[in-house]
Amino acid sequence: MPLSRREFTRRSAVAGAGVAVVGTAGVLATTDGALATQDAAETAEATAKDDGPGYGPLIDDPAGILALPAGFSYRVITRTGETRLETGEFTPSNHDGTATFEGPRGATLLVNNHELKGPRADWDHPVPLTEGLVYDPAAAGGCTVVEVRRGGEVAEWVGIAGTSTNCAGGRTRWGTWLTCEENSDRAGENGMTKDHGYVFEVDPLDRRANRHPEPLKFFGRYDHEAVVIDPKRGHAYLTEDDAEPNGLFYRWVPPKGFEHGRGKLRTLADGAGVLQAPQCYDSGGRFVDDLSRATRIGTVYGVDWVDVPDRDARTTPVRQQFADDEVTRGRKLEGMWWADGGAYLVSSYARDESPGKPHDGQVWFYDPRRRTITLKVLLGVNPDPSKDGAFDGPDNITVSPYGGLIISEDGEGVQHLFGATDRGRTYPIARNDLNIGTDAEPEYSEFTGVVFSPDGRTLYANIQEPGIMLAITGPWKRQPR
């Protein structure tokens, strides 16, 4: 039963609304449980006094790859053009979304997306077309599975090939990876021989289960980013990174009686369940057309869901099947993570292409029990991305076993992994020191695929270009709220 606008308005009047102070330097949280950025100078001052969050200042890397706090170190796990798959080919390029799993004999398994768009000939290191694991032989993307064994040895093999622009995705509670295509080319477009824009399932523990891959079409065909599964209700939540108009946050409701499990999604028909888009409204019952309308940490919107008319977008892209007054959109909806009984989801930035106030990043929390979405992180527009200190353009995220969020930066200029505590204090964890530009015009690739190992001791992350998977270890500690 949907939460009515009248009921949400009544609840909001009783509970009150959270507020925050918004300034040019950033956003400060003033509501319990909120996450936010704070001024870079304030963060540095608190860290210097040893009473702030984080692990201290970042130290330049002599090897020119990764700056870390004192006491931390990193190891390169895979690197495009250097490390090789079991079959002898080089590790594919453009590392993106990643998940970790417990492997055999104490090993850690990682499923790693490779965000490669268009024909294979466009890339020096596409995902190899391993027999039996290919969807479309014309496409360059896919996933690899990386095994980091207890003794330090590393093995890598193909999980799926012949998919396009595998960006983010999501880990399932039954131990598989849902990889998402951020590209919706039809067969015949850009050299493709099959339709794209789908979600595929990859099993890191059972190679046979990955043979003869087929898209999970009931999740819809559009420029997918991430997906999470509600372990209690069975709903899937998905993000779309697209514009003109901005993309949507989706919910998939499974068929009545369906129970998730290993291999179960493959048994469903293309039209199984119901795919829906959100319709948000504020505490006064007013419709909200775009998430960029929110300017205060703690903003809470009620959420209703409306059915998607044609999820396979046979004639019209899914997001264009709705008028702007029918659904709530968001600019660059990116990574997601399921925790705390709901879904954390990212809007990477919003500028002139969104109707609300410009920002350099939001993180929202959707609570399926209350049927509300709450603004947890809001990054003010970064006035000078070339300078170290401020953060912008959040992308992949994870919830830390040490408290708060860990966020991959995909903004302009300097790129970081950074943390955000429950009460809104931010701190750096790593900085990409690998300059892929020139000394005169430096360029730093985004971080992707941030995720902890199952035991919480190692933080894995990728530098997308040229394609480097890193394992970060050090004196992790519980962060203050």
pLDDT tens digits along 277-289: 999 999 999 999 9
pLDDT at residue 455, as a whole number: 96
pLDDT digits (tens, 9 = 90+) for 305-357: 999 999 999 999 999 999 999 999 999 999 999 999 999 999 999 988 899 99
Distance between CA atoms of residues 293 and 31, nearest Å = 19
End-to-end CA distance of the chain: 35
Task: Tell how many helices (H) and how many strands (E) occur in the chain.
Answer: 2, 29
Q: pLDDT tier at 480 (50, 70, 90 boundaries)?
A: confident
Name the DSSP letter for residue 207. G
Distance between CA atoms of residues 446 and 285, nearest Å = 39
Q: What mean pLDDT, rounded, does the chain reach?
A: 90
**Is the pLDDT reported for residue 27 higher than 60?**
no
Distance between CA atoms of residues 304 and 278, nearest Å = 6
Q: pLDDT tier at 424 (50, 70, 90 boundaries)?
A: low
**E-assigned strand segments in 149-285:** 154-163, 166-171, 177-181, 199-202, 224-229, 236-240, 249-253, 274-281
**Is the pLDDT reported for residue 48 higher than 70?**
no
pLDDT at residue 40, as a whole number: 43
**Is the pLDDT reported for residue 31 higher than 80?**
no
**Is the pLDDT reported for residue 120 higher than 80?**
yes
Note the pTM of the prediction, 2 decimals: 0.91
**Is the pLDDT reported for residue 29 higher than 50?**
no
Percent of all residues in the chain with a pLDDT value above 90, rounded to a whole number: 83
Distances (CA, A) of 320 to 164, 201, 222, 287: 22, 27, 11, 18
More confident of the two residues 437 and 423? 437
**Is the pLDDT reported for residue 43 higher than 60?**
no
The partner residues of 342 in beta bridges, in order of sequence, read 339
